[in-house]
Amino acid sequence: MATRTRRGSAKRAAGPAGGTSGSDRRDELLGIAAALFATRGYAETTVRDIADEAGILSGSLYHHFSSKEAMLDEILRGFLTDLLDRFNRIEREFEDPRQALDELIAASFQSISTTPHAVALYQNQVDTLLRQPGFEYVGECSRQVEKAWLRVLLAGQKAGVFREDVDMNLMYRFIRDTVWSTVRWYRPRGKYKPEAVAKQYLDVLYGGLLTS
Partner DNA sequence: CATGAATGAGTCTTCATTCAT
Partner DNA sequence: CATGAATGAAGACTCATTCAT
Residue 86 to residues 24, 38, 54, 58: CA-CA distances in angstroms?
24, 22, 31, 35
Output the smallest distance, CB 29 to DNA, in A. 8
Q: Taking contact as CB under 8 A, which single stretch among the options 18-26, 75-83, 109-117, 170-178 is the one that binds a second copy?
A: 170-178
For binding to DNA (CB under 7 A), which residues are involved? 4-5, 7-9, 17, 21-22, 25, 45-48, 56-64, 66-69
| 127 lies in the site for a second copy, by CB under 8 A | yes
Closest CA to 36 of 25, 22, 24, 51: 51
- Based on CB atoms, which residue is closest to DNA, 47 or 168? 47
Rounded-to-integer distance, Cα 17 and Cα 38, Å? 28
Closest CA to 52 of 36, 70, 64: 36
Output the smallest distance, CB 7 to DNA, in A. 7
- Based on CB atoms, which residue is closest to DNA, 72 or 198? 72
Residue 34 φ/ψ region, left for φ over 0, alpha for ψ in the -120 to 50 degree band, beta for the rest: alpha
Taking CB within 5 to 8 Å according to partner kind, which of a second copy, DNA, none is near residue 14?
none
Rounded-to-integer distance, Cα 109 and Cα 180, Å? 8
Taking CB within 5 to 8 Å according to partner kind, which of a second copy, DNA, none is near residue 117?
none
- Based on CB atoms, which residue is closest to a second copy, 43 or 93? 43
- Based on CB atoms, which residue is closest to DNA, 67 or 157? 67
In eight-state DSSP terms, residue 28 is: H
